[in-house]
Amino acid sequence: MIYEIVISDQADVDLRGVYEHIAFELLSPDHAARQLERLEQHIVKLEAFPERYRLYEREPWRSRGLRVMPVDRYLIFYITNLNMGTVTIIRVLYAGRDIDDQLKDQEYSYFCD
């Protein structure tokens, strides 16, 4: 089965933030473009085998089916909805951040099957 990839508004903001941080704060636009491309390439791979990555270990996220895919120094958080045939990208976060703090304000609507 091929799953449809859905990028949440917050994940879109996260991806833009990754690019802007590397391009404008670190002054490396070429590196920013390559990093964004690597993230996007990994996201697209979720079309075929979205459940290959582990469930996030912390509750309440684990029981809600939140999965995490590491890419370089970033973590891509997503939910697979088998009934709808979708993979929703929830967040794209730098691995060095306080992940639980970043996830605590997520809308629960993503976790409904």
pLDDT of residue 7: 97
Among residues 41, 45, 35, the alpha carbon closest in space to that of 67 is found at: 45
Residue 47 lies in a domain: yes
Residue 112 lies in a domain: no
Q: Which domain holds residue 39?
A: 4-106
Per-residue pLDDT of the chain (113 residues; tens, 9 = 90+): 899 999 999 999 999 999 999 999 999 999 999 999 999 999 999 999 999 999 999 998 999 999 999 999 999 999 999 999 999 999 999 999 899 888 886 665 565 54
Distance CA 34, CA 32 (A): 5
- Say if CB 17 and CB 36 are below 8 A apart: no
Residue 113 lies in a domain: no
- Say if CB 77 and CB 66 are below 8 A apart: yes
Residue 20 lies in a domain: yes
Question: Mapping DSSP to helix (H, G, I), strand (E, B) and coil, where does residue 37 land?
Answer: helix
- Length reported for the chain: 113
pLDDT of residue 104: 80
pTM of the prediction? 0.91
**Residue 19, domain CATH:** 3.30.2310.20
Burial 51-88 (b: 16+ CB within 10 A, else e): eebeebeeeebeebbbbbbebeebbbbbbbbeeeeebb
Number of compact structural domains in the chain: 1
- Kindly report whether the peptide bond that precedes residue 60 is cis, defined as omega within 30 degrees of 0: yes
Residue 11 lies in a domain: yes
